[in-house]
Structures are given as structure tokens and as C-alpha cells.
């Protein structure tokens, strides 16, 4: 909690104008010096560019079939070969970036907002609200992500939005836990009491005193959970519960490819490598954020 108070001074302090800059600059500088984190960030930017400009980068239409040429090994025309319907594997891997990042970002956004709200409300207001919300959170937290995700998808059915909701719901209780502790600790601090004493409304206190102080933890958490969300989406697609065909997703491609591992190994291995790089990139950036924001945690 030492950090929370330091940051409170940095961001909200009356004479904190200069401190605010230096605090943030120091974190940025630590991050920039962290080579692995910079590599991760570069990878993320690259993936983003690939996702946005997929139609221009991909050599072929990812949905165009050429059945007679199916399962063709890599060649000059098709660097990674053709899949079981004669579609260009490279183009499909490139387009797969879109679903991966889309689900990764939006499920973490959904889970992060809902979860943080639950954690802050439970921690700030306490009492019965706290008991009900956090008990529910604990129940959802008990299960591994994949199992919660499967259960929610079983209830909702397939689809892009449903995938985002399922993963978002899986992530939300994790954010609630992260936001809850610091909120509870901050609530008892004098500056919050002082704010309340001068008549500041609850909403205002939460916005300007609680949220800025949990923001650091949430940022670290968001990047690490984007990695997990991407992995989760691929896992669910691999199981066969992903975004409906024919939209190319990495998980689905890996699944289709397993049958043809002896003929066109890259059918499975290439989208898997893309998936690994994406997950790795967000994990590296998450670790980098943590080290930059809390030098003590560096192990």
C-alpha cells in the first residue's frame, strides 16, 4: 500500500504538478529501458498494423477456395501452403489476427470495466453490497478460466459478441478482486475522509481519489489478461466453440490442421506460432508495466 499513497501524492497532491510528471516519466523511462518489454510493445504494434491492414497485406482472399489444389505444401505462390479447402494459409493467419485482437481488447475492456466497478463498489460501500458481490466473485473465481468460459458459451451459444461476453465475464471477477483490496484500504485513509468531510459526493470521490490509485494495478492486469483472453479465445475456437465459420481464427485453423499434420504441418503450426507471439507480446508488456510501476516487485 506504500505505493498507493506515493501515487496519491504524485497524481492528486496539491503541489503535485511537477511530481506528477516526474513520477510518470520515471515509469516510462524504466519501461523504455526494459528491452523485453519494448520488444513486446513493438510486436503488439506490428500485430495491430497487420490486423488493420489485413486486406492489403494478405496475398489472397482468405475465403477464396481452390478445392482441386487443397492441402498443397508451401510454394512460391503460397508461402505456407493451402488448407483443406484450398485456401491460402498465410492469408488466413493474417486475417486471424483480427479476431484475436478484437476479442482480446474488447473482452478485457468489458471485463475490466464491469469487474473494476464491482470491486470498487463492494470495497467502497461495504456492508451487504460487499458481501453479496464479493461472495459471487469468489464463486466465479474458484473455477479455471476455460471452464467458466465454456459454461458461459454453452449458455449463450456461438458468435463474436458472445465470445467477447463469455471471456469478459470470466475476466470480470479477477478485476473485481484486484480493485477491491486497494479500495478497501484507501477508504480508511485520511484524505478520503477529508474529502467526505467537505461534502464531496461518493461518485466524485471514487472518480478522483479511488480510481487513479488503483489505475496502475489495473493497467498491469489488463495487459496480462489481454494475453490470457487471446489464449482463451483460441482455446475455445480450438474446441470448436469459436466465432462461426468461415471467419478465419487461429484456434479453428490449428484444429483443422491437426488432421493434416503429416501432409501440411504448417497448417496447424503457423497459426499456433502467431498465437504464441501475440500472447507472449502482451505478457512481456504486462511484466514491463509491473516493473516500471513497482520497482520492488522486479524478481
Partner 1 sequence: MLRHIVRRLLLGIPTLLAVFTVIFILVRVAPGDPAVAALGDYASAEAVEARRQRLGLDQPLPVQYLTFLGDLARGDLGRSLISERPIGEQILFVLPYTLELTLAAILFGLVLGVPVGVVTAIRQNKPIDYMGRIFSLLGLSLPAFYLGILLIFFFAVQIDLFPSVGYAPFNEPARNLHYLVLPAVTLGLIETAYIARMTRSVMLTVLTDDYVRTARAKGLREWIVLLQHALRAALIPIISLVGIFAISLIGSSVLVEEVFARPGLGKLMIGATKQKDYTMLQSIMVIYALIIVIINIVVDIVYTAVDPRVRYS
Residues contributing to the site for partner 1 (CB under 8 A): 135-136, 138-140, 142-147, 150-155, 157, 227, 231, 234-235, 238-241, 254, 258, 261-262, 265, 268-269, 272, 275-276, 279-280, 283-284, 299
CA–CA dist 237, 235 (Å, integer): 5
Residue with Cβ nearer partner 1 (14 or 296): 296
Phi, psi of 252 (to 5 degrees): -65, -40
Residue with Cβ nearer partner 1 (89 or 195): 89
CA–CA dist 37, 50 (Å, integer): 20
Q: How far is the CB of 152 from partner 1 (least distance, A)?
A: 8
CA–CA dist 202, 225 (Å, integer): 29
Residue with Cβ nearer partner 1 (183 or 283): 283
Residue with Cβ nearer partner 1 (113 or 154): 154
Phi, psi of 198 (to 5 degrees): -85, 10
Count of alpha carbons within 13 angstroms of residue 268, beta-carbon side: 13
Per the structure block, which three cell numbers stand in for 177? 478482486
Q: What angle in degrees, to the nearest 10, is found between the helix axes of 250-258 and 211-239? A: 30
Residue with Cβ nearer partner 1 (8 or 134): 134
Residues present in the chain in total: 299
Q: How far is the CB of 114 from partner 1 (least distance, A)?
A: 16
Q: How far is the CB of 115 from partner 1 (least distance, A)?
A: 17
Q: How far is the CB of 110 from partner 1 (least distance, A)?
A: 18
Residue with Cβ nearer partner 1 (146 or 215): 146
Nearest to 90 by CA among 102, 77, 81: 81
Q: How far is the CB of 157 from partner 1 (least distance, A)?
A: 8
Q: How far is the CB of 150 from partner 1 (least distance, A)?
A: 5
Per the structure block, which three cell numbers stand in for 174? 479477477
Amino acid at each position: 500500500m506504500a505505493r498507493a499513497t506515493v501515487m496519491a501524492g504524485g497524481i492528486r497532491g496539491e503541489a503535485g504538478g511537477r511530481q506528477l510528471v516526474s513520477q510518470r516519466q520515471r515509469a516510462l523511462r524504466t519501461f523504455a529501458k526494459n528491452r523485453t518489454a519494448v520488444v513486446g510493445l513493438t510486436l503488439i504494434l506490428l500485430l495491430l498494423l497487420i490486423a488493420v491492414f489485413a486486406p492489403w497485406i494478405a496475398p489472397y482472399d482468405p475465403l477464396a477456395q481452390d478445392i482441386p489444389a487443397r492441402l498443397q505444401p508451401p510454394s512460391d505462390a503460397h508461402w505456407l501452403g493451402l488448407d483443406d479447402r484450398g485456401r491460402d494459409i498465410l492469408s488466413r493467419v493474417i486475417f486471424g489476427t483480427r479476431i484475436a485482437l478484437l476479442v482480446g481488447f474488447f473482452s478485457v475492456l468489458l471485463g475490466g470495466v464491469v469487474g473494476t466497478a464491482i470491486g470498487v463498489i463492494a470495497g467502497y460501500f461495504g456492508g451487504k453490497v460487499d458481501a453479496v458481490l464479493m461472495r459471487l466473485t469468489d464463486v466465479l473465481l474458484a473455477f479455471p478460466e476455460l471452464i467458466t468460459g465454456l459454461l458461459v458459451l454453452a449458455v449463450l451459444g456461438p458468435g463474436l459478441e458472445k465470445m467477447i461476453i463469455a471471456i469478459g465475464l470470466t475476466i470480470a471477477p479477477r478485476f473485481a478482486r484486484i480493485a477491491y483490496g486497494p479500495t478497501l484500504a484507501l477508504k480508511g485513509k485520511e484524505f478520503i475522509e477529508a474529502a467526505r468531510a467537505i461534502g464531496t459526493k461518493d461518485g466524485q470521490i471514487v472518480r478522483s481519489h479511488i480510481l487513479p490509485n488503483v489505475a496502475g494495478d489495473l493497467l498491469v492486469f489488463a495487459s496480462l489478461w489481454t494475453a490470457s483472453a487471446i489464449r482463451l479465445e483460441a482455446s475455445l475456437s480450438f474446441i470448436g466453440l469459436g466465432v462461426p465459420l468461415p471467419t478465419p481464427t487461429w484456434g479453428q485453423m490449428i484444429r483443422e490442421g491437426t488432421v493434416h499434420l503429416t501432409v501440411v504441418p504448417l497448417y496447424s503450426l503457423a497459426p499456433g506460432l502467431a498465437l504464441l507471439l501475440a500472447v507472449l507480446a502482451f505478457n512481456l508488456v504486462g511484466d514491463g508495466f509491473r516493473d516500471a510501476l513497482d520497482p520492488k516487485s522486479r524478481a
